[in-house]
Structure 1
Amino acid sequence: MDEALLRRLTPGVLTVLVRRGADFAAAEDAVQEALVEAVRVWPDDPPRDAKGWLVTVAWRKFLDQARADTARRRREDRVEEEPATGPAPATDDTLQLYFLCAHPSLTPSSAVALTLRAVGGLTTRQIAQAYLVPEATMAQRISRAKRTVAGVRFDQPGDVATVLRVLYLVFNEGYSGDVDLAAEAVRLTRQLAARVDHPEAAGLLALMLLHHSRRAARTAPDGSLVTLAEQNRGRWDTAMIAEGITILQAALARDRLGEYQAQAAIAALHADAPTVEETDWVQIVEWYDELARLTDSPVVRLNRAVAVGEADGPRAGLAALAEVDASLPRHAAVAAYLHERDGDLATAARLYAEAAHRAADLAERDHLTRQAARLNAHRPR
């Protein structure tokens, strides 16, 4: 059974049902039943037109459910006028699914889950495993999301910026369980960028590719984090870097700068440097200035302080950090790093320990704890 094929076909099958008049929730349920039927039947009797087979079976599942619900009798009379068999249409309305799943009435977590289910073709179990929550909890989240968008007209215009934000959230979830959410985000964003004429879609794809290219070097064999400065750059995916830079350059040439393009430009400068010592920190600071202008984000100002510390020295970095809210996550970790660079090991050790205490991620907590222990071991008694 080709699970990748089923996942690729799922969005198109779902959009056919919605175009025929099925509401999103009922259509999605019917498609899931058709996928289960495909897993059972296809190994022994593969269809010649896989999408057409799925559309036909899903449509029959939907009609069966409609007939069982007398309250939907009027809708059934209307939708039965549509053809239920024949070749699947060649048009691809996947873009509309992106907009529907990123509807502003949904919470970010619900939008992400619904996107992974409807557009990504993942099962509820796979999504639950990726988020490390019980399957029943994820099922409830997805059900609530489907009910929320059930009455939304499928032909309403969508907001590309909202869709991009949802995909960005998917990418940042990274990897857990048997589903690589970072790779899934790259796949979905590549799909979206091919469908919309929007430089920020290209910018987000470039950003994902450039970050994802470093994945193999981010952890040691024991699972511990490896900082950017300490990574073995020979393990970076140079083909992915080249693709990301090419996509970024084409987006920047359109002179419609957005936050994802600016972030990708920073990532490209890191990727371009053969060694950490050759990193063009001055230009990185300039891109952070652009990014701060675009977003006014405290996280951007926090990361800018690190870049300033590299470009102009740790004390300049600490001065920039002083303008950032100290309650921000990772503030203590950045302060620790800059104090260590400035030679104040006692303060750095204390701040590393404080940052470790605040860290929500176990790998990050272990890394910061080791940094504190390393400095304390070298302090004079």
Structure 2
Amino acid sequence: MNEVTLRSLTPSVIGVLVRRGADFAAAEDAVQEALVEAVRAWPAGQSPSSSLGPNGGDSVRDPKGWLVTVAWRKFLDATRADTARRRREDRFDEEPAPGPAPTVDDTLQLYFLCAHPSLTPSSAVALTLRAVGGLTTRQIAQAYLVPEATMAQRISRAKRTVSGVRFDKTGDVATVLRVLYLVFNEGYSGDVDLAAEAIRLTRQLAAAIDHPEVAGLLALMLLHHARRAARTAPDGKLVPLAEQDRGLWDKESIADGIGILQSALVRDRLGEFQAQAAIAALHADAPTAEETDWVQIVEWYDELARLTESPVVRLNRAVAVGEADGPRAGLSALAALDDSLPRYTAVAAYLHERDGDLETAARLYAEAAQKAPNLAERDHLTRQAARLNARRQH
């Protein structure tokens, strides 16, 4: 039984324990302990030992039932050990007989619970990775490059916040999607590929709910992730989209993403993730950067701006206008925006370079480098400034 399969069972097992009367925080802790037991008991596809599984070797045919049984025992042990809960012990003392796990799947409710509006975005992401994704606190901490103790505190606070929330109300799909997109944008660090994990969780959500924006987000993730291998050079330097080796793009993921997007768009319930995915699809569909359909991309940015009223969307639209109608048109669109926006200076530098004003472009690239949010982007912008300064001297 591999780790990904085990993690995929996590939300439904938590749901079973909650329905039996466990509060969310205790249920989640018990399931994490059961997952640890499973990893120990099921190495390389072997069956769990009879001391842990309800039916010995046969129980591997019902891994969810095995996890439910073990997690419930862990919960009972923790309850009995807690002196503050001794008076509640009778309520949970009778252990349900081993057998097939209930067919009720609470995965969707767990998505909503972990994206509860009372949680901060960082707490919602951490709780989603733990309760829905089945990752350990150590794995999440490594992915976010923070100490394990810090992440443990964050998750504990989040669990306490949502422990009193019942599984009886429909949550906000848009909030769930924002949380999953935050997970995706963290990318990769440590031993957990958060982009791949976000895609897995979004596929899981798409299987649980028929919603065009869920499909739109899944398509967007697949189309962005398809370009991953081409985004950085072997030395770690950023490679701009126009300069990427398109032979490195994952054509299977692109086809999958476009197919999912098309199925969502025909339902005529356009949302921001579908619009973003449509833009990504046009980039992915172009054989070369020069053959990109920038006119259609501008039209999709117009739709996206109408849906979101986001200044960042309008900033990206200015780049697209510069490609479709020329750099002067792009600069005109840019002039209507607030110059304090992230990446504004970098966009201005690019458009001035396209317009032939190398001196202004070099100066703006250098300014943008000072504002860059990470070292890789700073290095890229610094090299752009140096390249233009070298051209001006010859």
TM-score when scaled to structure 1?
Answer: 0.97
1:115 and 2:143 equivalent? no
- 1:265-344 equivalent positions in 2, closer than 5 A: 265-344=278-357
Q: CA deviation at 1:81?
A: 5.5
Instruction: Give the aligned partner of residue 214 of structure 1.
Output: 227
Write the distance in 2 (CA, Å) between the matches of 1:176 and 1:325. 33
Stretches of structure 2 lacking an aligned partner (at least 5 in a row)? 49-58
Write the distance in 1 (CA, Å) between the matches of 2:352 and 2:346. 10
Write the distance in 2 (CA, Å) between the matches of 1:93 and 1:150. 15
Instruction: Give the aligned partner of residue 19 of structure 1.
Output: 19
Write the distance in 1 (CA, Å) between the matches of 2:88 and 2:236. 55
Query: Is the CA contact 1:219–1:226 (under 8 Å) kept in the aligned structure 2?
Result: yes
Write the distance in 2 (CA, Å) between the matches of 1:152 and 1:12. 17
Question: Which deviates the most, 79-88 or 273-282?
Answer: 79-88
- 1:234-245 equivalent positions in 2, closer than 5 A: 234-245=247-258
1:68 and 2:81 equivalent? yes
Q: CA deviation at 1:82?
A: 6.8
- 1:41-80 equivalent positions in 2, closer than 5 A: 41-43=41-43, 45-46=47-48, 47-48=59-60, 49-80=62-93
**AA at the equivalent of 1:204:** L
- Deviation readout 1:42-74 (Å, 9 max, x if unpaired): 337524232212111110111111122243345
Write the distance in 2 (CA, Å) between the matches of 1:74 and 1:253. 57
**AA at the equivalent of 1:21:** G
Write the distance in 1 (CA, Å) between the matches of 2:393 and 2:82. 78
Query: Is the CA contact 1:60–1:84 (under 8 Å) kept in the aligned structure 2?
Result: no
**AA at the equivalent of 1:297:** S
Runs of 4+ in 1 over 6 A off after TM superposition: none
Alignment: residue pair count: 381
Question: Which deviates the most, 48-57 or 178-187?
Answer: 48-57
Query: Is the CA contact 1:24–1:146 (under 8 Å) kept in the aligned structure 2?
Result: yes
Q: Secondary structure at the match of 1:288?
A: helix
Write the distance in 2 (CA, Å) between the matches of 1:105 and 1:284. 36
Query: Is the CA contact 2:258–2:281 (under 8 Å) kept in the aligned structure 1?
Result: yes
1:223 and 2:247 equivalent? no
Q: Secondary structure at the match of 1:324?
A: coil
**AA at the equivalent of 2:255:** A
Q: Secondary structure at the match of 1:194?
A: helix
Q: Secondary structure at the match of 1:197?
A: coil
Write the distance in 2 (CA, Å) between the matches of 1:84 and 1:335. 67
Query: Is the CA contact 1:26–1:62 (under 8 Å) kept in the aligned structure 2?
Result: yes
Report sequence identity in percent. Answer: 85
- Deviation readout 1:69-115 (Å, 9 max, x if unpaired): 24334544334457253221233211111011000000000000100
Stretches of structure 1 lacking an aligned partner (at least 5 in a row)? none
Write the distance in 2 (CA, Å) between the matches of 1:290 and 1:119. 33
Query: Is the CA contact 2:32–2:134 (under 8 Å) kept in the aligned structure 1?
Result: no
Write the distance in 2 (CA, Å) between the matches of 1:2 and 1:246. 29
Write the distance in 1 (CA, Å) between the matches of 2:140 and 2:63. 25
Q: CA deviation at 1:370?
A: 0.7
Question: Which deviates the most, 45-54 or 91-100?
Answer: 45-54
Q: CA deviation at 1:281?
A: 0.5
Write the distance in 2 (CA, Å) between the matches of 1:313 and 1:82. 71
Structure 1 counterpart of 2:146, from 133, 148, 151:
133
Query: Is the CA contact 2:115–2:124 (under 8 Å) kept in the aligned structure 1?
Result: yes
Write the distance in 1 (CA, Å) between the matches of 2:111 and 2:94. 28
Write the distance in 2 (CA, Å) between the matches of 1:179 and 1:42. 21
Q: CA deviation at 1:323?
A: 1.1
- 1:30-179 equivalent positions in 2, closer than 5 A: 30-43=30-43, 45-46=47-48, 47-48=59-60, 49-80=62-93, 83=96, 85-179=98-192
Write the distance in 1 (CA, Å) between the matches of 2:9 and 2:286. 40
TM-score when scaled to structure 2?
Answer: 0.94
- Deviation readout 1:303-328 (Å, 9 max, x if unpaired): 00000000011011011011111111
1:265 and 1:314, CA in 2 relative to 1: closer, same or farther beyond 3 A? same
